[in-house]
Structure 1
Amino acid sequence: MTKITKTVWVGALLMTAQLTLAQQITPVDTTAPKPKPVAEKNELKYNLNESGTHFFKATFLNQAWLQYNQSNPGTTVIGVPKDNTFSIGLRRTRIQLFGQLSDHVFLYLQFGMNNFNYLNGGFSQTASSQRKVQAFFHDAVAEYLVFKNKNYLNLGAGLTIVNGLSRFSAPSVATIMSMDVPVFAQATVDQTDQFSRKLTVYARGQVGHLDYRVALSDPFPIQTNGSALPSYGPNSIFALKGHEKQFQGLFMWQFFDKESHQAPGYNTGTYLGAKKVFNVEAGFITQKNAMVHVAAPGDTVYQNMNLWSVASFLDMPLNKEKGTAVNAYLGYFHTDYGKDYIRFNGAMNPGSDIVAAQRPGGLGGSQGNTFPMFGTGSVVYGQVGYLMKRDLFGADNGTLMPYVQAQIANYQRVNNTLGVYNIGLNYLIKGHNGKLTLDYQNRPYYEPSSGTSKLSAGGRRGQLTLQYQVFI
């Protein structure tokens, strides 16, 4: 190697060493801005335009129940009398798909199942493979927004829960404060509708403080509800003959914040302090010749179904810094289903009711956890809950929200005032996205009165339920 070549190599090595040393001792610029942490996304949403005003979104909901029930007298479980039951089930499993496809076009679909326990929604000694037919379309509705970027008037049609009567006639079940909704407010559920949904055309909107919806529905014949047909008698039933349209309306005056108006018809249960809401409301449902009874041999009487309610709803923060809030509702319901109408019902009823003859006086359907949930008369319903401070158990460990509920009814066919009471506690792990709810219900059970078709309270029973909800 020549002297020149050696000199070049030595120079190159020295330069490399200097560069390496310089890189090692170069001070770090502590004033440079640090990258911001990526915010958590809390929804599955695909934007169809850059601004995000056109989008399509998916949500998923699962509500699992563990239920211990003190049985009503005469309760059987697959032919064996039971004084109490423990059951596991899915109260609701749902998928929602919806989106604002353009400035004027909105699409909403919901698919899922309800009340899936060991009886898979109902027991039959002759049916087979019933446990595989529970899921169905709850909603399939298209909407046209008449005014761009305004909710003054939206026109819609399809299978929808857009209902009159009250906010709880079309509840957003993923956001309710209590473990379950007051089902009596879904007045014709699974009688002349599909789990509160009907084939409907409607108009809805918000103008100033007024939130309104009016609807014309095409109810299903009761012959298609999957249950044994009721018999004509002195007490009203849904008519087995004729077909009339149903008219509905709900009007809410919003004193403070406007409520969400995106999903057609659905009303939020609680905003967990994110909004300041106080509303008064009035609603109705009416249908000509919807009910029928026999007044005397050969004298068949058809009656209109007329239901209306007035109510107030409060959901607002108490201390924004701490995150505390209150939720309250009080409503009066006038429920006219015709002479002496009564219907027993119970959420996730664990009684199989295969030997109805064990209970005289037409009380075969009163087994398990049922009570006269629907009837001709009047109902007062109220609830109140308190959201405790944010991060009650430490950062990201959630908080608690206790509540109480009461449904007090006077029905024509029931001798005593009916009172159903619930007390519960929500553990909000991540708001409504992940929560545990423990609920205790105390309800009456009924016996036939001697010599009449009236019902009298025979005593009371209790039910303890633990729900785990996951929602995204």
Structure 2
Amino acid sequence: MRITFLTALSFLFISSAAFAQGEKSNTKKFPKELRYNFSEDGEQYVKATFLAQIWGRYTDNNPGTTLYGFDEPTSFDMGLRRVRMQVYGQLTDRIFFYTQFGQNNLSSSGPRKQGIFFHDALGEFKVYKNAVSIGAGLTAWTGASRYSSPAIGSILTLDAPLYQQYTADISDQFVRKLSIYAKGKIGKLDYRLALSDPMAIPVSTGQPGGISTSSMYSSEPPKAQIHGYFMYQFMDQEDNTTPYNAGSYYGKKTIVNLGVGFVQQPQAMWNLSDDLQDTLRSNLSILSTDFFFEKPLDKTKQNAVTTYAAYTFSDYGKNYLRNTGVMNPATGNSNSTVVNGAGNAFPMNGTGNTIYAQAGYLFRKDLLKDLGTIQLFGALQHSTFDALDDPMLMYELGANWLIAGNNAKLSLEYQSRPVFETDALGDAKTTARKGMVVMQLQVGI
């Protein structure tokens, strides 16, 4: 309670100071930002943000799904998908700090009073202009793709392409890694490189215990992980103050970016030989290339198109497969033939190849007069994983109602996912498709 009270006081102070420096606030509009400038030119500052994403959802669950032992073929649930607070700033010409704390996935069926935790905490030193900065801490300066570090407030679809968060909550903390990193811009080339100390696998809840003939993360003391992402920005330049990449600029920028990235960790994975006599070790290797495009069609109307496409080759070792169910509404599955597991989970990561694409169209800014505008979107993930006999195809369709830009928006999405089951021969094949409808309210500053 004391920490919460002090945090609230800090926000009130920053907010009051920011408004005291500016013009009178307009109660019909969101304040621009919570910021206090230490220098007259604004180059030295501290800034705070807040964001909450609330979900209401109907899910057609995977076959055999149970909730605390009771059959649960369908679910309606609500939850806090994300609650985040950021405090960061430029303390001197060279010293920058960044912190982010909050909570993820507080649902009606999950544990209560989870408590907030730090997502990010880092310090950064500017070595040479904007070309080279070096930092360290718990950070999302990661590879190997654009949305390995998504800016959650401006996600085009309802959620980021989570398969690009390749080791999420297994050897890291919700994407963030304990790292030493370098980042900067050289001309139009934006880059990030990091050396990370992977978190202990035995305390992870992201994979089953033990070891089998299919690859999983090794419980042995880990070797260092190196990763990076390089993005050539042909048109307007994107800000790299923080590691998070925007999903849309809402008709305010023309962005044409080509990116490549990688993740590499020696002997990160292990599995048993087919005769169960030997333990085999393999490297974690991920290579990715992607393309992001956004263009205003009319600068006055601020209508725009947004597209993104990515190809990823992932090598997690022999037949590695990971199912992910975002804020899963279930706790178990009584059907052992279902590969997906419980609730809304589906095979999202694995050894193999993935193609991902999304596209959106933003209507003119005054489409709904004082009530904002609409942004339509669609996305798909097509993966061919070694552990599955059929391709994995997930797709999403939806719309964002931008009431006050990304400060206040209401989103509605339908997601369709495949269900895989093993047959008598042990082959994992698609047997059905299941759907999920999600409504999200996002409020932030």
TM-score normalised according to structure 1 size: 0.86
Q: Distance in 1 between matches of 2:372 and 2:286?
A: 40
- TM-superposed deviation, 1:77: 1.6
Correspondence for 2:428: 455
Correspondence for 2:114: 133
Taking a change above 3 Å as real, the CA distance of residues 177 and 362 of structure 1, as seen in their structure-2 partners, is closer
Matched letter for residue 249 of structure 1: G
Q: Distance in 2 between matches of 1:145 and 1:57?
A: 19
- Asked if residue 288 in structure 1 is aligned to residue 278 in structure 2, the reply is no
- TM-superposed deviation, 1:361: 4.9
Matched letter for residue 175 of structure 1: S
Given that 2:99 and 2:120 are in contact with CA atoms closer than 8 Å, whether structure 1 keeps it comes out as yes
Correspondence for 2:228: 249
Question: Secondary structure at 2:249's aligned position in 1?
Answer: coil
Q: 1:10-409 residue pairs with structure 2 within 5 A?
A: 41-120=31-110, 130-147=111-128, 150-226=129-205, 229-263=208-242, 265-295=243-273, 296-353=275-332, 356=333, 358-361=334-337, 363=339, 366-394=341-369, 396-409=370-383
Task: Tell me the number of residue pairs that the alignment of Structure 1 and Structure 2 aligns.
Answer: 419
- TM-superposed deviation, 1:38: 6.1
Given that 1:192 and 1:219 are in contact with CA atoms closer than 8 Å, whether structure 2 keeps it comes out as yes
Given that 1:223 and 1:229 are in contact with CA atoms closer than 8 Å, whether structure 2 keeps it comes out as no
Deviates more, 1:55-64 or 1:318-327: 318-327
- TM-superposed deviation, 1:153: 0.5
Given that 2:289 and 2:311 are in contact with CA atoms closer than 8 Å, whether structure 1 keeps it comes out as yes
Correspondence for 1:33: none
Matched letter for residue 388 of structure 1: F
Deviates more, 1:274-283 or 1:74-83: 74-83
RMSD: 1.5
Deviates more, 1:37-46 or 1:281-290: 37-46
Q: Distance in 2 between matches of 1:334 and 1:167?
A: 15
Structure 2: which 5+ residue stretches go unaligned?
Answer: 1-22
- TM-superposed deviation, 1:333: 0.5
Given that 1:230 and 1:237 are in contact with CA atoms closer than 8 Å, whether structure 2 keeps it comes out as no
Structure 1: which 5+ residue stretches go unaligned?
Answer: 1-35, 121-129
Taking a change above 3 Å as real, the CA distance of residues 411 and 62 of structure 1, as seen in their structure-2 partners, is same
Deviates more, 1:280-289 or 1:75-84: 75-84
Matched letter for residue 460 of structure 1: R
- TM-superposed deviation, 1:348: 1.3
Given that 2:197 and 2:224 are in contact with CA atoms closer than 8 Å, whether structure 1 keeps it comes out as yes
Structure showing greater Rg = 1
Given that 2:396 and 2:416 are in contact with CA atoms closer than 8 Å, whether structure 1 keeps it comes out as yes
Question: Secondary structure at 2:112's aligned position in 1?
Answer: helix
Question: Secondary structure at 1:222's aligned position in 2?
Answer: coil
Given that 2:52 and 2:84 are in contact with CA atoms closer than 8 Å, whether structure 1 keeps it comes out as yes
Matched letter for residue 390 of structure 1: K
- Asked if residue 417 in structure 1 is aligned to residue 398 in structure 2, the reply is no
Question: Secondary structure at 1:223's aligned position in 2?
Answer: coil
1:284-334 C-alpha deviation (Å, 9 max, x unpaired): 001000011111222110000000101100112111121111110011000
Q: Distance in 1 between matches of 2:150 and 2:208?
A: 29
Q: Distance in 1 between matches of 2:307 and 2:338?
A: 37
Q: Distance in 1 between matches of 2:222 and 2:331?
A: 32
Q: Distance in 2 between matches of 1:334 and 1:390?
A: 38
Given that 1:114 and 1:134 are in contact with CA atoms closer than 8 Å, whether structure 2 keeps it comes out as no
- Asked if residue 435 in structure 1 is aligned to residue 409 in structure 2, the reply is yes
Q: Identity across aligned pairs (percent)?
A: 40
